[in-house]
Chains A and B, each alone.
Chain A
Amino acid sequence: MQLTTRSKQVSNKEMTLAEKMYLPAVISGLAITISHFFRKKPTIQYPEVKRYLGPIYRGHHILKRDEQGRERCTACGLCAVACPAEAISMVAAERKKGEENLYREEKYAAVYEINMLRCIFCGLCEEACPKQAVYLRHDLMVPVFLERDEVIYGKDRLVENMDDRYIRVANPEVNATPTEPSLTRAAT
């Protein structure tokens, strides 16, 4: 079985005098390394330049609303059950009269919290959700936190903003060139 086309047969035959002088080999080695010196570097300068990570990247959580702006989540708790890190907790409540424009079904999550220290961004909550309510967005990361009380994200930071809706689209253009702040909505 051949694993690579670049393999070479090694030989342990005795070296000729030219090879024993090593200088030709040393010079060709120096030529190889200096060619790397002038080569274009593949480095992406991370905090300044951010790479488009693809449409399936699992970043910041979002609780989706439907087209009329009603929260989709019904607090069924399947995401919390599916969560291997037990990061999700919620308190269910019954929809009152007059709240039909806020919540889509009769039951909703009054409190929905994700502990970002526990979350491992596996996406199982997204898979478990029967109402397409919770997603891990591909264009935003959970920022670094410095205080413990910043760790638990409530509904105020999770529910989708209707003015700035999250749409997951693959963008081959962004994929080709690492652009400036490509992880923002504008680039995707």
Chain B
Amino acid sequence: MDLTVLLVKGGIILAIFGISLLIATYSTYAERKVAAFLQDRLGPNRAGPWGLLQPIADAGKLFFKEDFIPSQASKSLFILGPCLAMLTALMSSAVIPFGDSIRFVWDKVNYEVNVQGIEINIGVLYIFGVVSLGVYGVMVGGWASNNKFSLLGAIRAASQNISYEIALGLSLIAILMMSGSLSLRAIIDEQASFFEWNIFTQPLGFVIFLTCSFAECNRTPFDLPECETELVGGYHTEYSSMKLGLYLFSEYINMFVSSAFVSALYFGGFHYPFINEVNAALEKSMGAIAGHNVATVIGIAVFFSKIFFFIFFFMWVRWTLPRFRYDQLMNLGWKTFIPLAILNVVITGAGLLYNFKYATWLIAIVMIVLAVMSTARAPKREAIPQRTV
């Protein structure tokens, strides 16, 4: 790799870093705004036009608060916790391909640089590794606080993440079988035409993956590690000032990365319907280099609109579903999602054997038929005698 490519790559990496921070910042604003709109309110609208400066006001507040470390806490680990959470959250966006590639000519040499932090052929594994490291931030912080509620929150986070990572991984295996690669770019390129998007070939896997990514991000309905009603603040009970800010921030970055991951794996990443026609037309009218770059920019915009939709979806679900009870959470993870994911893998494998990509619809159809049958057979809702006044 020569210096020009290195410089451009560095620029792209810095841009991805900055954008993920910016999106995380404005996710806090979006969260409050979306929450407000879903509850028939207006949300923050005092700081700047439409309240757009609200995240800056929030950050300023957090910075000026007292940075308190409990006397009985393990100091170094207490500080390490939020750093670890933030570090792992930021690391995971490195391998996500945000766009196709940029072409340019420098010193009469043609260059083509991927819009991606780094292209590695085990991108999916890398994200899995980094995300599972993220639990340590929560665990270390919760344990170091020397507080029962924090510890309970940390334990819940650890067991929840481990349980759901299995189902998450198994639902992904079906995709890996179909694309035959662990590279995210290869998986995205596999979904070039609209009806080959993995959402159409892997509907069940998508539902499992999405639900598990909610659990991985500690978002409602799986926000048991930090549920206020049971555990005060969960693992960050003892945290204040910007350390708390880092925890909250890393949660939003995780949300961004999960949204990017979901849209890359199941919604074709930077692909959109008729992308080939658009690209051909652009390259014809604007030349191979400029046309390709414009096409890439359109692709990036499409990818980000998918990401924003999923961030919105995360918030939408938050104000729709109530929190699970802990045993329900574990039952759902171990007794429902893991068997379903394994079934999904088996059916996908069988489908691949006979060259039929849409085999997992079989599971969906069987489930729908069973559901309809069970509803039809169900006895009429019998009224329980209630107290009469």
Find residues 302-326 in chain B having any chain A CB closer than 8 Å to their own CB: 316-317, 319-321
Q: Is A30's CB under 8 angstroms from B316's CB?
A: yes
Shortest Cβ gap from B324 to chain A (Å): 11
Residues of B within 8 A of A37 (CB): 34, 37-38, 316
Residues of B within 8 A of A32 (CB): 320
User: Quick check: is B381 within 8 A (CB to CB) of the other chain?
Assistant: yes
Contact with B along A128-160 (1 / 0, CB 8 A): 000000000000000000000000000000000
Q: Is A13's CB under 8 angstroms from B382's CB?
A: yes
Q: Is B321's CB under 8 angstroms from A17's CB?
A: no
Q: In the assembly, what is the distance between CA of A11 and CA of B381, in Å?
A: 7
Find residues 160-175 in chain A having any chain B CB closer than 8 Å to their own CB: none
Contact with B along A18-37 (1 / 0, CB 8 A): 11010100100110111011
Residues of B within 8 A of A13 (CB): 379, 381-382
Find residues 32-91 in chain B having any chain A CB closer than 8 Å to their own CB: 34, 37-42, 45
Contacts A17-B371, A18-B374, A30-B317 known; A36 to B379 CB distance under 8 Å?
no
Residues of A within 8 A of B (CB-CB), count = 25
Q: In the assembly, what is the distance between CA of A26 and CA of B320, in Å?
A: 8
Given contacts A9-B386, A29-B321, A34-B38, 5 further A-B contacts (CB under 8 A): A1-B389, A17-B371, A18-B371, A41-B41, A43-B42
Q: Which one of A12, A18, A34, A45 lies within 8 Å of B372 (CB-CB)?
A: A18
What are the 7 tightest A-B residue pairs by CB atom distance, in nearest-first order?
A18-B371, A17-B374, A16-B374, A16-B378, A33-B320, A29-B320, A18-B375
Residues of A within 8 A of B207 (CB): 23
User: Quick check: is B384 within 8 A (CB to CB) of the other chain?
Assistant: yes
Q: Is A41's CB under 8 angstroms from B42's CB?
A: yes
Residues of B within 8 A of A23 (CB): 207
Contacts A1-B389, A26-B320 known; A16 to B39 CB distance under 8 Å?
no
Q: In the assembly, what is the distance between CA of A39 and CA of B386, in Å?
A: 36
User: Quick check: is A98 within 8 A (CB to CB) of the other chain?
Assistant: no
User: Quick check: is B383 within 8 A (CB to CB) of the other chain?
Assistant: yes
Contact with B along A38-71 (1 / 0, CB 8 A): 0101110100000000000000000000000000
Contacts A21-B367, A37-B38 known; A11 to B319 CB distance under 8 Å?
no
Q: Is A26's CB under 8 angstroms from B321's CB?
A: yes
Q: In the assembly, what is the distance between CA of A18 and CA of B317, in Å?
A: 20
User: Quick check: is A186 within 8 A (CB to CB) of the other chain?
Assistant: no
User: Quick check: is B370 within 8 A (CB to CB) of the other chain?
Assistant: yes
Shortest Cβ gap from B335 to chain A (Å): 12
Contacts A9-B386, A11-B381, A13-B382 known; A21 to B371 CB distance under 8 Å?
yes
User: Quick check: is A10 within 8 A (CB to CB) of the other chain?
Assistant: yes
Q: Is B382's CB under 8 angstroms from A36's CB?
A: no
Shortest Cβ gap from A15 to chain B (Å): 9
Of all chain B residues, which has the CB nearest A28? B320
Shortest Cβ gap from B158 to chain A (Å): 25
Find residues 347-383 in chain B having any chain A CB closer than 8 Å to their own CB: 367, 370-375, 377-379, 381-383
Find residues 246-298 in chain B having any chain A CB closer than 8 Å to their own CB: none
Residues of A within 8 A of B375 (CB): 16-19
